[in-house]
Structure 1
Amino acid sequence: MTIVVLAAPTIPVLLAGLLWAGCAVPLVFIDAQVHRLPNVLTLPAAAGVFALLAVDAAVTGQWEHVISAAICAAVATTVFVSMGLVLGSRGLGLGDAKLILSVTALLGWWGWGAAFGAVFLGFLVAGLVGVALLATGRARRGAHIPMGPFFIAGAVVMLALMA
């Protein structure tokens, strides 16, 4: 939570980050345990982030930030939903797509680089963990790894870099 406070330049962006973090913390544990990202947390996180970023734009008059956030979120979510639909159970779940909506909206406020960086870091660390699990025999090829914790960790790292 401290990272969100340090990264946020305005009160509405701070509130957006805190709302997102409040939903992200339980999502990490839920996804790690049951491989699900429930709508009751992912959808309010996304709606709240968008609403608070819109408030920030209305107050500051800097609409380019919320437009950037919306475009980042739309592009990333479209890619994730498409991957989920095309690959089915072999790919990302739709819960991951709903999580990415809030992750890329929040980080998209800082720009494409921050949003892309969070997603990239999530995939990178998940891949490294997957390789380590395979190498140690703790997982077999085709095992499912919950991606939510990795995307959330990537977002936290990017927020720390923005601070």
Structure 2
Amino acid sequence: MTVVVLAAPTVPVLLAGLWWVVCAVPLAFIDAQVHRLPNVITMPAAAGVFVLLTIGAAVTDRWEPLLSATICAAVATAVFVSTGLVLGRRGMGLGDAKLILSMTALLGWWGWGAAFGAVFLGLLGAGFVGVVLLASGRMRRGDHIPMGPFFVAGAVVMLALLA
């Protein structure tokens, strides 16, 4: 939570970041346990982030960051949904796409680099852990890694870099 406080330029953006963290931390633990990102948390996370960022844009009368956040979230979510639909069980799940929606909306406030940097860091972390698990024999080819914890970690690292 400290990184959100340090990175946020305004109170509504701070509240959006805190709301996302409050939703994302349980999602990371749930995904790690049962490989699911439930709608009951992912959808309110996205709605809350968008509402609070919209309030932030209205308060500051700066709509460009909100437009950036919306476009980042739309593009990233479309890519993840498309990948999930095309690859089926071999690709990302739709829960991951819903987590990406709120995550890239929040980080998109700071621009494309922050939003897609967080996604990249999450994918990089998951790839590294996957290689280590494969090399150690704790995982076999075709096994699934829960991506939620890695995306949340990537977002937190990116927020720390922004702070």
Structure 2 residue aligned with 1:40: 40
Q: Distance in 2 between matches of 1:92 and 1:105?
A: 19
RMSD: 0.4
Moved over 4 A (4+): none
Deviation at 1:75, TM superposition (A): 0.1
Query: What are the residue-to-residue correspondences of 1:64-143 with 2, within 5 Å?
Result: 64-143=64-143
SS at match of 1:70: helix
1:116 CA drift (Å):
0.6
Alignment partner of 1:161 is 2:137: no
Return the TM-score normalized by structure 1.
0.99
Tell me by how many angstroms 1:11 deviates: 0.4
**% identical aligned pairs:** 80
Pairs aligned (count): 163
Amino acid of the structure 2 residue aligned with 1:72: C
- Aligned partner of 1:16 in structure 2 is 16
3-state SS, counterpart of residue 143 of structure 2: coil
Q: Which runs of 5+ in 1 are unaligned?
A: none
Q: Determine the C-alpha separation between the residues in 2 that align with 1:71 and 1:154.
A: 19
Shift of 1:114: 0.1
Residue 19 of structure 1: how far off its partner (Å): 0.3
1:118 Cα deviation from its structure 2 partner: 0.3
Counterpart CA distance in 2 for 1:27 and 1:95 is: 10
Deviation at 1:91, TM superposition (A): 0.5
